[in-house]
């Protein structure tokens, strides 16, 4: 052979003369028949000294092991191809020889041309087999090493191979499930159907094309389900379908994050829209709430006077008044309810608060429990367990209280009334590490199925009957907790109960407690109050609310400015922030230049839809502000704080 290295041949033959003859023939053909062995042991010894390219093996040889057994040992140990060269062609021998998978079978006497072609074919085949084995090993190693999960099935859809990633994602052992139908092991739910009606692997086999599934739920027996993304493809070799392969990966964390972002985006845009609507609603609402407060008080006074007169004529008037008072109370509570919804919606668009406040979590819990005690009494026992040495949280106490009230009310509403001894709501708080505090609200109520749990943070999602809930509670809680830089998670089991866990950041240590707000009762007699608002009706509401003060009202900021420029002094300046022409900010800035002490007396009033400039301004300015619509008491408190700090 041209350009080919000399092939080495080991002859195993116990008849010396035949062996020598063969050796000569081989040499004549250009082979290096470097050794002759007459027994199995000798053959193994020779091969281990120098591994031949091919072995020519007689079947009947000396010793305990015959040529077939020897061939098996040589093949196994050295991977060398064996060609039998024998005088025996009986069926039994051929049958046995066949089982040892020889690379050739020649009958003596053999012609040199036959010998040569048999040797060449044997070496070529052995070489191909070796390469094939190497490639298989390479593929298997690759499949085992890649980070995606891989599963192979045969034509019937039964598992033939799984890599370690697939084993660990599914939670099974490859050896144990080999041969089982893939659809029983890789149990998928797509779009909520259980099990998936047409398994991707079955489809790939049937349709002979790749099938991609962007998102499926992988059910696992011992662990919670995972969200996977997968693709299945048929394995086709030279037009022949051999099976199918599926590659999949765990995308649970990625999808959870995507869903959170999606929800966050939706809440933010809803908040932006709500802020716009709020602007339009809050001024008229300020009239409704403020006038109701005034009317209730005025009608109350009138009623007291009539009661004092105590005549038949007044009795009739009192009855009419009582009805009017009831209507007015309904108007007021309706107005407050609208105000709460609008303010809840606005919470979504609020930027994360910069904290800056230190809140005693135990006190917020205590307040929330007290506030909800009516709701609870007939439903469950309440247990509070807040570690006494809890650090303060860097959150707004009122807003944290609002979250806790929402969670406790939800917990109470998940429990049917009537069996308070058998049900429990537990609120616990503990520090988790140095930076966060975890607060848990746990109930023994009805729990939630996964499809409800998946939607609870969506605004307006509620399972309560019409009029029972707006479905804003949890989305607001979610927004508030996120604005604290914390998070809100839920675990629930139908029939067992629900656990809401919120984490909030710990406040950095500080010096002393701030002053507690004092109750407001003092009248404003003798105090000068300037009110600036472009809405006449709002001015009227404020005039009534602060009627014990000395009020000057202006519908335009420029008029107020001129008054102040002229040297007038006010104890409090209530000023709308957003006004056409000169805004509250403009007034503040111009005052700062000429009457800084009066600029410091301003309380801003806001009705939502803040421009970026206004929002920034409110964040940085030291003056306080009240949101419209305000209750009379809130407005009076704010004024009181400025008059008597
Ligand atoms: N502790 C709980 N146990 C069982 N289901 C709950 C629990 N908390 C919330 N849910 C479910 O989540 C839904 C949404 O709650 P969310 O507080 O956002 O709105 P709501 O309570 O229905 O109405 P709203 O709070 O506005 O009065 C509820 O309707 C209820 O199905
Ligand atoms: Mg609720």
Residue, of 471 and 4, whose pLDDT is higher: 471
Predicted local distance difference test score (pLDDT) of residue 96: 87
Which of 405, 462, 490 maximizes ligand 1 atoms within 8 Å of its Cβ, making it the mutation to test the pocket?
462
CA distance 163 to 148: 9
> 445 in ligand 1 pocket by Cβ < 6 Å?
yes
Average of pLDDT values for 563-570?
91
> What pLDDT band is residue 563 in, cutting at 50, 70 and 90?
very high
Per-domain residue ranges for the chain?
A: 8-140, 146-250, 354-506, 528-643
Q: Which ligand is nearest to the CA of 446?
A: 1
Residue closest via CA to ligand 1's atom 1 equals: 411
> 452 in ligand 1 pocket by Cβ < 6 Å?
yes
Predicted local distance difference test score (pLDDT) of residue 90: 86
**CA 439 to ligand 1 center in whole angstroms:** 18
| pLDDT above 80: residue 447 | yes
Q: Which fold has domain 146-250?
A: Beta-Lactamase (3.30.450)
Q: Which ligand is nearest to the CA of 476?
A: 1
> 190 in ligand 1 pocket by Cβ < 6 Å?
no
What's domain 8-140's architecture?
3-Layer(aba) Sandwich (3.40)
Residue pLDDT, tens place only, 186-225: 998 876 555 556 889 999 999 999 999 888 889 888 888 8
**CA 635 to ligand 1 center in whole angstroms:** 32
Least confident of 23-32, 37-46, 256-265: 256-265
> 441 in ligand 1 pocket by Cβ < 6 Å?
no
| pLDDT above 80: residue 379 | yes
Predicted local distance difference test score (pLDDT) of residue 34: 94
* Topology match between the domains 8-140 and 354-506: no
Average of pLDDT values for 373-382?
89
> 498 in ligand 1 pocket by Cβ < 6 Å?
yes
Give the ligand 1 atom nearest the CA of 443: 1
Which of 471, 478, 489 maximizes ligand 1 atoms within 8 Å of its Cβ, making it the mutation to test the pocket?
471
> 446 in ligand 1 pocket by Cβ < 6 Å?
yes
CA 506 to chain centre: 23
- Percent of the chain's residues with pLDDT above 90: 46
Q: 263 with 488: CB under 8 angstroms?
A: no
**CA 408 to ligand 2 center in whole angstroms:** 9
Average of pLDDT values for 12-23?
93
Token pair in block for residue 85: 């060269």
- Read out DSSP for 521-569? ----TT-EEEEE-S-HHHHHHHHHHTTTSEEEEESSHHHHHHHHHTT--
490 to 439, 456, 498: CA distances (angstroms) = 12, 10, 7
Predicted local distance difference test score (pLDDT) of residue 17: 92
- Does CATH place domain 354-506 in 3.30.565.10? yes
> 469 in ligand 1 pocket by Cβ < 6 Å?
yes
Average of pLDDT values for 89-96?
86
**CA 364 to ligand 1 center in whole angstroms:** 21
Residue, of 522 and 482, whose pLDDT is higher: 482
| pLDDT above 70: residue 148 | yes
Residue closest via CA to ligand 1's atom 7 equals: 410
* 528-643 CATH: 3.40.50.2300
**CA 474 to ligand 2 center in whole angstroms:** 6
Predicted local distance difference test score (pLDDT) of residue 512: 41
- Read out DSSP for 600-615? TTEEEEE-S---HHHH
Predicted local distance difference test score (pLDDT) of residue 3: 44
135 to 98, 128, 141, 391, 399: CA distances (angstroms) = 26, 10, 10, 63, 65
> What pLDDT band is residue 348 in, cutting at 50, 70 and 90?
low
Average of pLDDT values for 399-403?
86
Predicted local distance difference test score (pLDDT) of residue 355: 47
CA distance 604 to 607: 10
Average of pLDDT values for 610-638?
84
> What pLDDT band is residue 273 in, cutting at 50, 70 and 90?
confident
> What pLDDT band is residue 110 in, cutting at 50, 70 and 90?
confident
> 471 in ligand 1 pocket by Cβ < 6 Å?
yes
Average of pLDDT values for 244-262?
86
| pLDDT above 80: residue 510 | no
Residue pLDDT, tens place only, 59-72: 989 889 999 999 99
CA distance 264 to 116: 78
> 137 in ligand 1 pocket by Cβ < 6 Å?
no
> What pLDDT band is residue 157 in, cutting at 50, 70 and 90?
very high
> 410 in ligand 1 pocket by Cβ < 6 Å?
yes
- What is the chain's mean pLDDT, rounded? 87
> 461 in ligand 1 pocket by Cβ < 6 Å?
yes
Strands (E), 416-476: 424-432, 436-443
CA distance 42 to 49: 11
């Amino acid at each position: 052979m041209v350009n080919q290295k000399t092939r080495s041949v080991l002859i195993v033959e116990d008849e010396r003369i035949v062996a020598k003859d063969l050796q000569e023939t081989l040499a004549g053909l250009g082979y290096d028949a470097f050794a002759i062995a007459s027994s199995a042991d000798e053959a193994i010894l020779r091969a281990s000294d120098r591994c031949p390219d091919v072995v020519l093996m007689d079947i009947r040889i000396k010793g305990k092991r015959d040529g077939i057994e020897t061939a098996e040992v040589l093949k196994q140990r050295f991977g060398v191809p064996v060609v039998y060269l024998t005088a025996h062609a009986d069926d039994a021998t051929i049958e046995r020889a066949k089982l040892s998978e020889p690379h050739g079978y020649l009958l003596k006497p053999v012609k040199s041309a036959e010998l040569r072609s048999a040797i060449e074919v044997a070496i070529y085949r052995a070489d191909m087999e070796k390469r094939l084995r190497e490639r298989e090993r390479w593929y298997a190693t690759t499949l085992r090493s890649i980070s995606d999960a891989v599963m192979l099935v045969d034509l019937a859809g039964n598992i033939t191979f799984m890599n370690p990633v697939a084993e660990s994602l599914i939670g099974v052992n490859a050896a144990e499930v080999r041969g089982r139908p893939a659809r029983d092991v890789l149990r998928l739910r797509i779009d909520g159907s259980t099990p998936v009606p047409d398994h991707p692997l079955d489809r790939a086999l049937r349709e002979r094309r790749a099938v991609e599934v962007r998102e499926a739920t992988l059910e696992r027996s011992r662990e919670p389900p995972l969200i996977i993304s997968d693709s299945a493809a048929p394995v086709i070799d030279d037009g022949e379908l051999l099976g199918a392969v599926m590659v999949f990966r765990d995308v649970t964390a990625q999808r959870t994050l995507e869903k959170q972002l999606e929800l966050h985006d939706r809440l933010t845009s809803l908040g932006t829209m709500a802020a716009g609507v709020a602007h339009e609603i809050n001024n008229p609402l300020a009239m409704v709430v403020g006038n109701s407060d005034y009317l209730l008080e005025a009608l109350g006074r009138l009623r007291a006077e009539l009661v004092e007169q105590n005549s038949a004529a007044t009795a009739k008037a009192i009855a009419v008044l009582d009805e009017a008072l009831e209507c007015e109370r309904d108007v007021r509570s309706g107005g407050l309810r609208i105000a709460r919804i609008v303010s809840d919606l606005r919470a979504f668009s609020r930027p994360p608060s910069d904290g800056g406040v230190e809140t005693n979590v135990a006190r917020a819990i205590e307040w929330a429990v007290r506030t909800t005690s009516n709701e609870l009494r007939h439903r469950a026992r309440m247990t509070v367990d807040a570690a006494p040495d809890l650090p303060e949280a860097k959150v707004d106490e009122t807003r944290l209280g609002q979250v806790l009230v929402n969670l406790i009310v939800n917990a109470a509403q998940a429990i049917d009334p009537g069996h308070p001894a058998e049900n429990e709501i537990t609120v616990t708080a503990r520090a988790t590490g140095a930076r966060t505090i975890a607060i848990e609200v746990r109930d023994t109520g009805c729990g939630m199925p996964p499809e409800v749990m998946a939607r609870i943070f969506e605004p307006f999602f509620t399972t309560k009957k019409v009029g029972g809930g707006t479905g804003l509670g949890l989305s607001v809680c979610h927004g508030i907790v996120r604005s604290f830089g914390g998070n809100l998670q839920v675990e629930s089991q139908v029939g067992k109960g629900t656990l809401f866990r919120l984490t909030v950041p710990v406040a950095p240590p500080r010096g002393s407690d701030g002053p507690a707000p004092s109750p407001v009762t003092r009248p404003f007699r003798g105090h000068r109050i300037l009110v600036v608002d472009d809405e006449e009706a709002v001015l009227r509401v404020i005039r009534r609310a602060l009627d014990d003060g000395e009020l000057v009202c202006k519908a335009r900021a420029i008029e107020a400015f001129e008054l102040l420029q002229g040297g007038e002094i006010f104890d409090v300046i209530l000023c709308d922030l957003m006004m056409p022409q000169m805004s509250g900010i403009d007034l503040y800035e111009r005052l700062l230049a000429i009457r800084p002490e009066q600029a410091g007396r301003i309380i801003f009033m806001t009705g939502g839809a803040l421009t970026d400039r206004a929002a920034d301004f409110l964040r940085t300015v030291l003056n306080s502000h009240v949101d419209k619509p305000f209750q009379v008491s809130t407005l009076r408190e704010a004024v009181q704080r400025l008059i008597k700090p």
